[in-house]
Amino acid sequence: MNKLDLRVLELRGCGLKRINTQLYHLLPYLTHLDLGNNQIQFIAEDEFQDLHRLHTLKLDGNLLPVILEKTFVNQQQLKFLCLARNRLAKITDTAFLNLTSLIELDISFNKLNKIESFALTHIAESLQKLLISGNSFSLSLIKMILQTLYRVWHLDASQMKLRSIPERFLPDRIKKLNISWNNITTISVQTFPRQLQELDMSHNQLKGLNDSVIIKLETLKFVNLSANPWHCSLCHITSILFRVNKTDLFKNLSCASPKNLKGRKLTSLRLEDITTCNSKQNEDENSSSDNKLSLLIGLICIVIFAILSIIFVVCSCVRRHSTNVARQQKRAAEHAENSLQSATAIFCKGEISFKFPLDLTERKMSVSTIDEIKRDSQQSLPNGTGTGI
């Protein structure tokens, strides 16, 4: 068969479970291969051995549980590798061996909770963009990854349940940072890398920002702060209020609390609209939240008590029923035994049952001779026909 001069092959969303590797043998000039959103569960070590010119390989949205040793050993020209949304729980030490040209790696939304630094050393010289979103990485593991991949300047760490970013945690070389959809409540100037240019902190738990943070954010090319629970009180947004009309940072942001300002655009607020830190409304709101929490806990306790009570009643009824059944069986057995020892006749549905005592010492039997029987018979004949003796 003749080899084809095909450069791009996209088989996304075709329901594929396997690819016949002989197909790759016919496509030696292939540079772009997209196998995303299929049902591939296994990639052999020599799967792509004939694709030496690959620049882009997309395997996202499949069912891969592991990347085996030397899977991409023949892809020295590969620049973009996407393994997102699989079931990866392990990346072997030499899985990325020979990927000396790799610029972008996406391993987001897998089941990874650890990765060995040795597995990343093979791509440390070239990798610039790293996407690790949706994995269960600890802060210490993220720090190790960033130390190993010392050329990465674009980091996506969204949806990782992060509660905070320590000061000086991120290396200064980071220019683009996505930490959206986490649980971050506060942030300081020291959190931001010195070369940071773009920041996405949407869908976190920020309630306010101080002056120094706002000044830093104003120097960035792109900032996304949407979907944070901004608390429109003097305790949280005083600094924002004085700058809200001097920058585009807060253009589309709205108050999440207190109740009377919920949904109000920050750009429309006036100083007299803002509540004080210890205002009665804030106290009532906090009290209401506490009351709701107490009520919820009380309801849960009542439900648990009711369930336990039902279980106790059911167990008691079952135990009592078992006891009654055992007593009835015992009484029936005793009644049957006493009936067998009785000498009286039992009448039941027209039938007569005679039961005789077994104690022969208390009952005497009379025995008559033949002559006595004859004599009695003659005496009992009518009209005095019988003969006397």
Q: Where are the domains of the chain?
A: 8-230, 231-287
CATH classification code of 8-230? 3.80.10.10
How far CA 299 is from CA of 17, 289, 296, 307, 313, in Å, comes to 50, 15, 5, 12, 21
C-alpha dihedral, 30 to 35 to 36 to 37, nearest 10°: 160
pLDDT the model gives residue 246:
84
Distance (Å, rounded) from C-alpha 63 to C-alpha 203? 29
Looking from the CA of 327 toward its CB, the CA atoms found within 13 Å total 6
Per-residue pLDDT averaged across 165-194, rounded? 96
Which residue carries 């990485």 as its tokens?
A: 137
Average pLDDT, the chain: 85
Distance (Å, rounded) from C-alpha 115 to C-alpha 143? 12
- The model's pLDDT over 7-27, given as tens digits with 9 standing for 90+, comes to 999 999 999 999 988 889 999
CB 254 within 8 A of CB 228: no
Q: What is the pTM of this model?
A: 0.71
**In the structure, what pLDDT confidence band is assigned to residue 122 with cuts at 50, 70 and 90?**
very high
